Chains A and B, each alone.
Chain A
Amino acid sequence: QVQLVQSGAEVKEPGASVKVSCTATGYTFSDYYIHWVRQAPGQGLEWMGWIRPNSGDTKFAQKFQGWVTMTRDTSIGTAYMELSRLRSDDMAVYYCARDPGGSSPKFDFWGQGTLVTVSS
C-alpha cells in the first residue's frame, strides 16, 4: 500500500537549517509530485512547494523562495525539504504529500508529519 514515511522530530537553534526526509513506498516514486505543507501549532495548513521527482524540477510559494530547498533521491524513493535560517515562527509540523498532477491534482496520501522545534 502507498506510504510516505517522514524522518523524526528535530530540535534546532535559531539560524540553523533543518532537513526533513520523506520516503515513498507502494508506488512508482517518479510518477507523482511531492508537495511540502507545514502547520504551525494551532494554525492552518500552509503550502510550501513541490518537487517533481522524475526531473527534479521545483516550484515554491513566493514566501519560501530563497530559503527552502527541495531535492530527491530516486534510487531510494526519498524526497527532502531543507529550510535554512530558521526562526521561532518556523516551528511547525512539516508534512509531505503525494500528487498525481495532470488533470486530477490532489494531495492523496500524506506523511505522518515531522515536528520541527526552533529554540535556543
Chain B
Amino acid sequence: DGGITQSPKYLFRKEGQNVTLSCEQNLNHDAMYWYRQDPGQGLRLIYYSQIVNDFQKGDIAEGYSVSREKKESFPLTVTSAQKNPTAFYLCASTKRAGEVNTQYFGPGTRLTVL
C-alpha cells in the first residue's frame, strides 16, 4: 500500500539539542510539506518542497531546516534555535506541485522538549 510514513511517533529532546524527524512517501508525489500543529490551533506551514533539491520557507520556518535529496524523503530538523519546539509535526505530500491537489498526510510525530 502506498502512503506516507513518519518516524518516530514520539520524540523527546533535551533543550539545546537538534533532532531530525523522518518523512518518507512511496506515492511518487512531487511535492512535500511540513506542518506544525499546536493544541487548539490549525496547521501552520514550516517548509515545502516542489521538486528534489529545492525547498521554500513556509510561514514559520525559523528554527527549522529541511533537505530534499530524494523524491521519497523530506526530513525536518528542529534546531536549538527553535524557541518552543514542543508540538505535533505532520508531513504531507501532493502529486504535483503548482496545481491544486489533495494533500495526503502522514500519522505525525509528537515532539516534546524536556
* Chain A complexes with chain B: no
Query: Residues of A at under 8 Å CB distance from B?
Result: none
